[in-house]
A and B are shown apart, each in its own frame.
Chain A
Amino acid sequence: MAEQQQQPKHKRTISRYLQQSHERIFENNRKWVESKTRSDPEFFAKLSAGQSPEYLYIGCADSRVPANEIMGLDAGEVFVHRNIANMVPNTDLNVMSVINYAVRHLHVKHIVVCGHYTCGGVKAAMTPADLGILNPWLRGIRDVYRLHEAELDAIPDEKAKYDRLIELNVVESCRNIIKTAAVQQSYQDNQYPIVHGWVFDLKDGLLKDLKIDFEAMLEGIKKIYNLASSPDRRASTTD
């Protein structure tokens, strides 16, 4: 009985807490607008004229890796796609349309794939468990493991092995981006975009550049994945 009486009060507390967290976002938003307008009265007028970001960022959905914050970039500077474990499956219409739009319409100069150590998605992918709808998405990470099985199996330390798989997953996403017609054709015509692979370290907040050799990777995949020229080169129609 006592428990039954407490239940509604408990629920009220939770709902009040949630309401506050919800309101906080709107309050913060107003504060941000004020501070931006104070330092640059034209800030929002410039943004409403359009966007011309130099970067496309493809990163993890993880709340601890906010793209603009970790790069020190402002609103308008980076086009962003975030999904579970920063994957770039070549049959995924969602990420493919982001790349296509960023390359063919926004003409971004750099594409960054950013993973992060202690990635829950990579961890989940290597867990021998049925995770429902996540299975097909995370299977891509198991494929990365299979592609680099010899290297990964040779790492005795489990933590080091997990870190390396996170890095290799970023490299594979970069390779998948380079496989697209949009990137190959734009690079052939304009010498951009360049693809970069990074890993964010939650321990110190620093980005580690995996220093992917873009030119070499592009050359390397061309034997099999060359889409630089298509019979009619219909502008912006393929990927």
Chain B
Amino acid sequence: MTVTTNSFDRILAGNAIFARRLTLREPELLAKTAKGQAPEVLWLGCADSRIPETTICDCKPGDIFVHRNIANILTPDDINSASVIEYAVGFVKVNRVMVCGHTKCGGANAAMGDDDLGDILNTWLEPMRALRRQHKSELDKLLTADAKANRLAELNVFRSLEVLKQNPIVQKAMAERGLTLHGLLYDIPAGELLVLEDGKTHVTATTETQHRLNR
């Protein structure tokens, strides 16, 4: 591959490689995706560049329907994420919805304080700041800024799952065809995807990861 100094040309070169690889090695995948999509999973995650869902799950084009925003915040009145959920659950008929928060989250860090980030970001992050106030006593017990932000990221996932459970189209799909909801936490330093269960903290994390998250 020719090394290009221009960061824009680099992308188009990257795409040419992607297309060639797909054409040569997986022509059937290309033909399949050209016909339509039938993803198993809806992923609701953070816009953070370090968490490309398809890459970190080693998945392929066509596997995961995706919405990503700042700090994976879900509120019932957000028409952007609501229309993604409606389309993915109601029309595409995914079988699983995964809400994925992550450690080292800039949004969670910002929500731990009340710095003025401008009108737009202040307003967007307010549900997460409210969550911090609501869980003040629990968060106060944690020793480091990292541990506090990581726990807030987890609480934010649980809150998002609650928002999903109250969504009529989600309720209907859960009752009628067994749609399931899952909370995840992606640990950036380890590259590891952890399952979150019922308000508990990083249950499947390795001892090493748990040690780091709690530090």
Contacts and interface: CB of A to CB of B under 8 A. Distances in A.
Contacts of B33: 64, 202
A110 B7 contact: yes
Interface stretch (A1-9, A49-57, A144-152, A166-174): A49-57
Contacts of B104: 48, 50
B19 A47 contact: no
A179 to B, nearest CB: 14
A25 B41 contact: yes
B153 interface: no
Contact of A66 (B8, B13, B66, B125): B66
Interface string A216-239: 000000000000000000101111
Given A81-B69, A237-B118, A206 B19 contact: yes
B52 A75 contact: yes
Contact of A72 (B14, B51, B190): B14
Nearest to B195: A26
Given A71-B15, A98-B69, A133-B79, A83 B47 contact: no
Contacts of B193: 25-26, 29
Contacts of B192: 29-30, 33
A110 B37 contact: no
A33 B11 CA distance: 24
A164 B48 CA distance: 31
Contacts of A197: none
A134 to B, nearest CB: 5
Contacts of B11: 55, 71-73, 112, 207
Interface residues on A, range: 35 or more
B13 A72 contact: yes
A104 B117 CA distance: 10
Nearest to B46: A80
Interface in A20-36: 21-22, 25-26, 28-33, 36
A76 B62 CA distance: 22
Interface string B68-97: 111000000011111110111001100110
A18 B174 CA distance: 14
Given A74-B55, A93-B124, A63 B66 contact: yes
Instruction: Name the residue among A48, A71, A72, A138 with the largest chain B CB count within 10 angstroms.
Output: A72
Contacts of B52: 66-69, 73-75, 78, 80
Interface in B108-147: 116-121, 123-125
B120 A93 contact: yes
Contacts of B12: 207, 209
6 contacts: A33-B191, A72-B13, A75-B55, A97-B124, A120-B92, A206-B19
Given A29-B193, A50-B104, A70-B15, 15 more contacts: A26-B195, A32-B58, A33-B191, A44-B189, A71-B18, A72-B15, A80-B52, A81-B69, A92-B80, A93-B78, A97-B121, A97-B123, A133-B83, A194-B8, A205-B15
